[in-house]
Structure formats: C-alpha cells, structure tokens
Amino acid sequence: MLQLLLTVAAIVWATCSVFASDEQDCFQGQEPQLRIKGCSEMLERAPEDAIAYHNRAFAYALAGAIDNAIADYSKVIALAPSNASAYANRGRAYASKGDYVRAVEDETKAHELMAKATAESPVVAPKPAKAPKKAAAAAKPAAVAPKAKEIPHASPNVSQEPPAAPATSWWSWLWGNSPDQDGSKNAKP
C-alpha cells in the first residue's frame, strides 16, 4: 500500500512540475519557440484559456508567423470580446502584412474599448488616515481647503482650461512671417 501511495505521489509531483514548466515557458520564456510550445501545452489542457492564446499569439508574432498570430488573437477576441489589447495587437499584425483596412478597424475597436473602460472605471480618491480616537476628540478642526472641481470621467492630468493659442502659426515659422503687436503681418523679404 505504501508503495502505491508513493508512486501516485511521484506521478502527481511530476505532473505538477510539468504544468508549472509549461506555464513558465508560456508566460516568461525568452525564446518565441519556447513560449509557443509552453502555451500550446497549456491550451491542450485548457482550450478556453484566452491568456494562453494571447501569449502564444505574441510569441508567433515575434517568430514572424503572422498568420498564426492573427488566428490566435482572433481566438482571444472570440473568448474575451472586450480585450482591447487583442484588437490592438491583431491590428499591428494586419498592418505588418499590409492589410491596412483591417488594421485600422482593429485599432479603432481597441481605442473604443479602452475609452469605454476608462469611462466606466470610477475615480477613487484615497481615504484619509484615521486619527486615534483620543487625538481626534482633542484636535480642533482646521480651516478646510476648498474642494477642487472634478471633471467626471477625465484622467487626472486633464486641464479644465483650454490651452493658450500659440503666438504664431506653424506656417509663419516656415515662411518667416510673424504677427506684430497690432496683429498685422510683416513679411520678411
């Protein structure tokens, strides 16, 4: 009985190490062929693993197998239709083949998905640290700073004011014309 238990344990340990090796090759392999092999092994066990397809597609693209990369990115899109990265990468693969119509379609879809995800994700402000109860009771309220205006669904570095207009247009640099203080143009000979 002990012999059987040890044999089963050895088989399980060997199988787990093979699975871990395939996963490591798929996600961290330095050589594209090693990544392709590792991801393919994972996909044999879990054919609906969108992440493994995505990594294998990337490895195919690195190896120059663009058609295989496009097929795998298409599978990722079928499994996870909101994966913007799959659309963007498939668009790059199409562009590398010269299929610019499909490339633009995929890049446009990727940008739409990223904009939608950005608009749907709430901006969460960090909570202030709580003061100990004794210190909170003894502390007097300080002057409260006015709250900054918030722009809904905007990234933190979006300015509320439009940028200032440039003093001269780009063509004035090219032609040597610049507006005077009164707004008239004096062309340089």
Quickly list DSSP for 61-72. Answer: HHHT-HHHHHHH
Average pLDDT, the chain: 74
- Please count the other Cβ atoms lying within 10 Å of the Cβ belonging to residue 78: 12
Q: Is residue 128, in this structure, part of any structural domain at all?
A: no
What CATH number is attached to the domain comprising 97?
A: 1.25.40.10
Q: Which pLDDT band holds residue 111 (cuts at 50, 70, 90)?
A: very high
Considering the entire predicted model, what is its pTM? 0.56
User: What pLDDT score does 122 carry?
Assistant: 73
Contact 90, 70 (CB under 8 A): yes
Q: Is residue 14, in this structure, part of any structural domain at all?
A: yes
Q: Which pLDDT band holds residue 17 (cuts at 50, 70, 90)?
A: very low
Percent of the chain with pLDDT over 90: 45
Q: Is residue 136, in this structure, part of any structural domain at all?
A: no
Q: Is residue 148, in this structure, part of any structural domain at all?
A: no
Per-residue pLDDT tens for 133-174? 665 555 555 555 555 454 444 444 444 444 444 444 444 444
Percent of the chain with pLDDT over 70: 54
User: What pLDDT score does 80 carry?
Assistant: 94
Question: How large is the average pLDDT for residues 105-116?
Answer: 94
Task: Map residue 186 onto helix, strand or coil.
Answer: strand
The torsion region of residue 188 among left (phi > 0), alpha (psi -120 to 50) and beta comes to beta
In this predicted structure, the answer to whether residue 49 has a pLDDT above a threshold of 50 is yes
Domain that holds residue 47: 7-120
Beta bridge partners of residue 185, listed in sequence order: 179
Task: Map residue 184 onto helix, strand or coil.
Answer: coil
Count of structural domains, the chain: 1
Q: Is residue 68, in this structure, part of any structural domain at all?
A: yes
Contact 53, 43 (CB under 8 A): yes
Q: Which pLDDT band holds residue 108 (cuts at 50, 70, 90)?
A: very high
Q: Which pLDDT band holds residue 187 (cuts at 50, 70, 90)?
A: very low
d(CA 132, CA 44): 56
**Which residue pairs, CB below 8 angstroms and at least 24 apart, start in 146-152?**
150/123
User: What pLDDT score does 64 carry?
Assistant: 94
Task: Answer with the residue of higher pLDDT: 17 or 69.
Answer: 69
Q: Is residue 160, in this structure, part of any structural domain at all?
A: no
User: What pLDDT score does 147 carry?
Assistant: 53
d(CA 151, CA 104): 30
Alpha helices in the chain (DSSP H): 2-28, 32-45, 50-63, 66-79, 84-97, 100-120, 133-138, 170-175
**What are the C-alpha distances in Å from 52 to residues 47, 85, 144, 185?**
9, 14, 51, 62
Q: Is residue 99, in this structure, part of any structural domain at all?
A: yes
Q: Is residue 182, in this structure, part of any structural domain at all?
A: no
User: What pLDDT score does 125 carry?
Assistant: 65
Residue at 148: amino acid letter: A
User: What pLDDT score does 3 carry?
Assistant: 65
